[in-house]
Structure 1
Amino acid sequence: MDETSGHYECDVLIVGGGINGAAIARDAAGRGLRVVLCEKDDLAQHTSSASSKLIHGGLRYLEQRQFGLVRKALAERETLLSSAPHIMRPLRFVMPHDAGARPAWMIRAGLFLYDRLARREFLPGSQGVDLRTHPAGASLQPQYTRGFMYSDGWVDDARLVVLNALDARERGAVILTHARCNPPQRHPDGWNATLEGEGRHVHVTARCLVNAAGPWAARFLHGATNAAGGQALRLIKGSHIVVPRLFEHAHAYIFQHPDGRIVFALPYEGAFTLVGTTDVDFRGELDKVAISAEEKVYLCQLVNRYFTRQVTPADVLWSYAGVRPLVEDAAASAAAATRDFRLEPDLAGAPLLSVFGGKITTSRKLAEQAVDWIGQALGRAGHSHCAGWTEHACLPGGDLYGPRPDKRGVLEFGAWSARQAGRYAWLPAPLLERYARAYGTRIHLLLARRESLADMGPEVLPGLYAAEIDYLMQHEWARSSADILWRRSKLGLHIAPGSAVRLDEWIAAREEALVV
Structure 2
Amino acid sequence: MAEFDLLIVGGGINGAGIARDAAGRGLRVLLVEQDDLANYTSSSSTKLIHGGLRYLEYGEIALVRESLIERERLLAMAPHIIWPLRFVLPQSQSPRPAWMVRAGLFLYDHIGGRRKLPGTGTIDLSSDPMGEGLKDGGKAFVYSDCWVEDSRLTVLNAMDAALSGADIRTRTRLVAAREEEGRWAATLEDERGTSEVRAAMLVNAAGPWVDDILRKLGRARNDRGVRLVKGSHIVVPRLYDGDHAFMLQNPDRRIVFAIPYEHDYTLIGTTDQPWEGPPGRAGISEEETHYLCDTANRYFGRSIAPEDVRWSYAGIRPLYDDHAADASAVTRDYVLDLDAGGERDERKGRAPMLSIFGGKITTYRRLAEHALQQIAPFFPRMGRAWTAGITLPGGEMAGGDFHAFLGGLISRFPGFPRPFLHRLARAYGTRAELVLGEAASIAALGEDFGGTLSRREVDYLVEHEWARTAEDILWRRSKIGLHADEGVAERIGSYLSGRRSGNGNG
What TM-score do you get using the length of structure 1 for normalisation?
Answer: 0.94
Matches within 5 A, 1:171-320: 171-228=164-221, 230-320=223-313
**What's the offset of the Cα at 1:306?**
0.4
SS at match of 2:466: coil
Instruction: Return the letter of the residue paired with 1:242.
Output: V
Q: What do the CA deviations read for 1:103-149 (whole angstroms, capped 9, x no partner)?
A: 0000110000110111111101001111011112111012x321000
The farther-off stretch of 445-454 and 314-323 is 445-454
Output the CA distance in 1 between the equivalents of 2:291 and 2:134.
Answer: 18
Q: Does 1:28 align with 2:22?
A: yes
Output the CA distance in 2 between the equivalents of 1:173 and 1:133.
Answer: 54
**What's the offset of the Cα at 1:499?**
2.6
Q: Which runs of 4+ in 1 moved over 3 A?
A: 226-230
**What's the offset of the Cα at 1:20?**
0.1
Q: Which residue of 2 aligns with 1:162?
A: 155
**What's the offset of the Cα at 1:202?**
2.5
Q: Which residue of 1 aligns with 2:379?
A: 378
Aligned residues: 497
**What's the offset of the Cα at 1:229?**
5.9
Q: Which runs of 5+ in 1 are unaligned?
A: 1-6, 402-407
Q: Which runs of 5+ in 2 are unaligned?
A: 342-349
Q: Which residue of 2 aligns with 1:501?
A: 490
SS at match of 1:205: strand
Q: Which residue of 2 aligns with 1:413?
A: 402
**What's the offset of the Cα at 1:226?**
4.7
**What's the offset of the Cα at 1:100?**
5.0
SS at match of 1:391: coil
The farther-off stretch of 324-333 and 55-64 is 324-333
Instruction: Return the letter of the residue paired with 2:437.
Output: A
Match of 2:124 among 130, 134, 156: 130
Residues 1:366 and 1:100: Cα distance change in structure 2 (over 3 Å)? closer
**What's the offset of the Cα at 1:507?**
1.5
Output the CA distance in 1 between the equivalents of 2:178 and 2:223.
Answer: 19
Q: Which residue of 2 aligns with 1:395?
A: 392
Q: Which residue of 1 aligns with 2:328?
A: 335
Q: What do the CA deviations read for 1:15-34 (whole angstroms, capped 9, x no partner)?
A: 00000000000000000000
Q: Which residue of 1 aligns with 2:361?
A: 360
Output the CA distance in 2 between the equivalents of 1:220 and 1:124.
Answer: 43
SS at match of 2:179: strand
- The question of whether the paired residues in 1 share the 8 Å contact of 2:321 and 2:330 is answered with yes
Instruction: Return the letter of the residue paired with 1:353.
Output: L
**What's the offset of the Cα at 1:186?**
1.8
SS at match of 1:184: strand
**What's the offset of the Cα at 1:197?**
2.2
**What's the offset of the Cα at 1:288?**
3.0
Match of 2:453 among 459, 464, 475: 464
Output the CA distance in 1 between the equivalents of 2:193 and 2:251.
Answer: 52
**What's the offset of the Cα at 1:99?**
4.6
- The question of whether the paired residues in 2 share the 8 Å contact of 1:231 and 1:344 is answered with no
**What's the offset of the Cα at 1:514?**
5.1
Residues 1:394 and 1:177: Cα distance change in structure 2 (over 3 Å)? same
Output the CA distance in 1 between the equivalents of 2:380 and 2:256.
Answer: 46
Q: Which residue of 2 aligns with 1:10?
A: 4
- The question of whether the paired residues in 1 share the 8 Å contact of 2:475 and 2:481 is answered with yes
Q: What do the CA deviations read for 1:336-377 (whole angstroms, capped 9, x no partner)?
A: 000000000010312110000000000000001111222222
SS at match of 2:37: coil
**What's the offset of the Cα at 1:330?**
3.2
Q: Does 1:322 align with 2:315?
A: yes
Instruction: Return the letter of the residue paired with 1:469.
Output: V
- The question of whether the paired residues in 1 share the 8 Å contact of 2:450 and 2:485 is answered with no
SS at match of 2:176: coil
**What's the offset of the Cα at 1:54?**
0.2
Match of 2:422 among 414, 428, 433: 433
**What's the offset of the Cα at 1:461?**
1.8
Instruction: Return the letter of the residue paired with 1:177.
Output: T
Output the CA distance in 1 between the equivalents of 2:389 and 2:284.
Answer: 39
* Identical counterparts, % of pairs: 52
Instruction: Return the letter of the residue paired with 1:263.
Output: V
Residues 1:39 and 1:204: Cα distance change in structure 2 (over 3 Å)? same
What TM-score do you get using the length of structure 2 for normalisation?
Answer: 0.96
SS at match of 2:188: strand
Instruction: Return the letter of the residue paired with 1:300.
Output: C
Output the CA distance in 2 between the equivalents of 1:343 and 1:130.
Answer: 45
SS at match of 1:290: coil
Output the CA distance in 2 between the equivalents of 1:19 and 1:282.
Answer: 21
- The question of whether the paired residues in 2 share the 8 Å contact of 1:87 and 1:438 is answered with yes
Instruction: Return the letter of the residue paired with 1:394.
Output: T
